[in-house]
A and B are shown apart, each in its own frame.
Chain A
């Protein structure tokens, strides 16, 4: 089942805006070709992580190899890659695109082209992909295939006359998709006689197999038992298993040019599996590596700390394993006065942050505290030096700062006409600058420059709510600019809580300061003493709340027979205090911080 002639292979990604039906289409392709037995089939089969199934979204790209006996009498090997739609997981999409020659661009026929449709299709064009437009959900009464075809041509500039009209849900015209794949997408190129070069597309940790690596072979063969070398660092390994995904892992003897599959090779360290690396033959190594990937640049950082300080080591190991599986995630050790030893972690967005946190707690059984997310600022000191600020707590004294620069983005928002007004208001509230405003039929496309800090937190939710869910949004980083930025410190019982400090534009400082004080007041349970909560810029308090003292907490009956129990309870309470964070004479349960940090800053 390997060494398929190149002309009988097709490698393609399924790309689309969120929820346009990529994973459902993947289900149908798998099912129609009989790759998975009917009884093993389930919806969004490839979304196999618990979080993916719960949230109904794809987070990890997945690869499946299917065999398709086409109308031309040949049986083709199709490697499909289902990709995530959400902008935070764009790095998954870009790596998948690099492993394929073509894309199925799925567009929901009732919704039309959305922001991520654009973002993803432009990426596919950059990767020189052949693109087949697929209009999905034509079963829906609201489907307007003709209008959407027109839109694809107008907005994207792609010929949509041959768009494949399907319903992934009902299975309508899946055959049409399969035929389009073999007739319209190009086969891979490659040379079996050359030495091995294979692109390292992804990797993850499997409890039984250890590190598993997803590869796409360009030239030569990848065989069980051969010695391979990672070109980025020269590390060598003996290949233990070679296999393909159907979508379960199935071992094969070898993978030839143009093929996709996995290898295991007793790889222990994360450093030995760099996505984008080239795997070559140790005995006859290639001299030129494959192009690889652009590194991902985290846009949001936050601190992650173990609730129990003893779990620090476990956190370190877990982050390593997670990183193996998610190359867009970054981490570096840091220390906080309030929270102890932990890691500063970088993410592609807030959803990404939330998912990583959730995975750490579920997959690695870690109890974590996350500090307020922050974008990366650039601080120009009065002495001329420029430094990056990943953590507001590290901000130097304002007297040493010449200026603070913040990252800006260029956002593309697509929205039906009637909601445009509220979207424009939202953008200007967030210090946005309009770049462009165009119409495609009754949909407007607004391009704005916005400070990333204004977008990272609740922008997406607000966008959805003011447009009743109809607006879609995509963005790319658009340089740094100096701004009137201040650090807002939060004081609990007059003591600064470094983990809660955050940066804001001066014009927003009062509002944000007030809102976090109010939230903390709700979240921190009443204590023995009253607790003042303040937000301050330097020494100037900008907002204040007071949590009043608890009103009654005493055991009603306590006699001779209750004494042992009471003392033991007291011992337990004192033990429990270790889990609290001490602020002068008050202790605050970590759960309150976690809740405060969870809210939109």
Chain B
């Protein structure tokens, strides 16, 4: 791995949504009218700026995330994909994912996105239960979600969708039924997220006020175990804390994050990690869409700051991401990406204690969090990291 050129993953952020979901803390904004031309031009400009800086490199994946990128004009996606393929060297089977919301309006555009070069669709289904969709403030119905899944399956070679569980009062049996129903719609990939109350969201206010209560840790753990079991029944393995895939159908783009690979991010608030000349750079971009576009127009990019990460920071990031994966981390790769030995970033005694407790294990020279360990990763990390 060390001698090879690290391929690039390219993230493109589309910051707009039709409405703000009450649980969501993503950098997403609601606008009466979106100046499609202006944002297409700005995204293209940032793409060129990055290519200039980084130089020609193999390109392994593109990911249109949001916000709701399915609200983007398909031509914009087409132009960005074409430009990326021209500026970098796309690897064979380069994965191009688009996040889409299952409203009928967006579903209608799916064929055009496919034609633009998108080969993987990630649908924000969230639930197949009408009451849950209402609670989550979604604009689509369960019927629309099923329809979008069916259309997606027809049009795209690869399909994934998101569900949110551990909702207030959710019973395990009902959740199992919901997962099973979704899985019969035959996707090769699934993201199943435990509902999280993010600071600053509408849910945070309501939850603090006591408007609803979430399942406790024990119930959440039981729901998680049920999820893993149901997914396994359909041949999907939990390759990451919240992600399930048939062997080979893992999200290549997201794997780049978890394997702490090089990724570029363009668009408002997009993050990146890039090892350039032995230094890991973390650029920050303006989060507000219009301000970001203004910056791009004025200076060619929306970067507002850059941090050079220390080897300790890099080792921590490599571990906090890598231990989310079932495959764990390879000490040699961590050393290359961090610029320091992995062992030096770990508290050996705590690692051993976690091994004894059955939370960590070594497999073929890789350090892995076991299923039990992954469920407690946030508690484990501050202890095992030096």
Contacts and interface: CB of A to CB of B under 8 A. Distances in A.
Nearest to B223: A552
A341 to B, nearest CB: 26
Contacts of B382: 570, 573-574, 576-577
Given A561-B269, A563-B273, A564-B282, A556 B196 contact: yes
Nearest to A584: B353
Nearest to A565: B271
A385 to B, nearest CB: 42
Given A570-B381, A574-B382, A560 B263 contact: yes
B378 A554 contact: yes
A552 B376 contact: yes
B129 to A, nearest CB: 19
B292 interface: no
B272 A567 contact: no
A559 B257 CA distance: 6
A557 B321 contact: no
A585 B353 contact: yes
B351 to A, nearest CB: 11
A141 to B, nearest CB: 43
B292 to A, nearest CB: 14
A525 to B, nearest CB: 10
- Output the residue of A526, A528, A552 with the most chain B CB within 10 A: A552
- Output the residue of B256, B282, B376, B377 with the most chain A CB within 10 A: B376
Interface in A555-601: 555-561, 563-564, 566-567, 570, 573-574, 576-577, 585, 587
A552 B220 contact: yes
B215 to A, nearest CB: 10
A551 interface: yes
Interface string B264-294: 0100011111000000001000000000000
Interface string A539-557: 0000000000111111111
A554 B349 contact: no
25 contacts: A528-B357, A529-B357, A551-B375, A552-B224, A553-B376, A554-B378, A556-B194, A557-B196, A558-B257, A558-B320, A558-B321, A560-B9, A560-B257, A560-B263, A560-B272, A560-B273, A561-B269, A561-B270, A566-B317, A567-B313, A570-B382, A577-B382, A577-B383, A585-B353, A587-B383
B241 interface: yes
Interface string A174-199: 00000000000000000000000000
- Output the residue of B194, B195, B282, B379 with the most chain A CB within 10 A: B379
Given A553-B375, A560-B271, 15 more contacts: A528-B354, A529-B353, A551-B375, A552-B376, A553-B378, A553-B379, A556-B196, A558-B324, A560-B257, A560-B265, A561-B265, A567-B316, A577-B383, A585-B349, A587-B383
B11 A570 contact: no
A549 B372 CA distance: 11
B378 A563 contact: no
A566 B320 contact: yes
A484 B25 CA distance: 63
Nearest to A576: B382
Nearest to B375: A552
B13 to A, nearest CB: 8
A170 interface: no
A109 to B, nearest CB: 47
A570 B386 CA distance: 11
Closest 10 pairs between A and B when the two form their complex, measured CB to CB: A551-B221, A573-B382, A552-B221, A560-B257, A556-B193, A554-B377, A528-B379, A585-B353, A556-B194, A553-B379
B378 A560 contact: no
A475 to B, nearest CB: 46
Interface of A: 526-529, 549-561, 563-564, 566-567, 570, 573-574, 576-577, 585, 587
Contacts of A526: 217
Nearest to B320: A566
A305 B57 CA distance: 59
Nearest to A529: B357
Contacts of B65: 559
B35 interface: no
A528 B351 CA distance: 12
Contacts of B196: 555-557
B350 A550 contact: no
Contacts of A549: 357, 376
Interface in B345-361: 349-350, 353-354, 357, 359
Nearest to B194: A556
B163 to A, nearest CB: 11
Given A528-B383, A553-B376, A567 B320 contact: yes
Contacts of B271: 560-561, 563-564
A549 B383 CA distance: 15
Contacts of A564: 271, 282
A191 B324 CA distance: 88
A574 B316 CA distance: 12
Contacts of B349: 585
Given A559-B257, A561-B270, A570-B385, A551 B317 contact: no
Contact of A567 (B218, B263, B317, B354): B317
B374 interface: yes
B105 to A, nearest CB: 25
B155 interface: no
Contacts of A529: 353, 357
Contact of B377 (A551, A553, A563, A577): A553
Contacts of B194: 556
A490 B37 CA distance: 70
A526 B218 CA distance: 11
B246 interface: no
B380 interface: yes
Contact of B241 (A558, A561, A570, A574): A558
A552 B353 contact: no
A550 B217 contact: yes
A267 to B, nearest CB: 50
Contacts of A550: 217, 376, 379
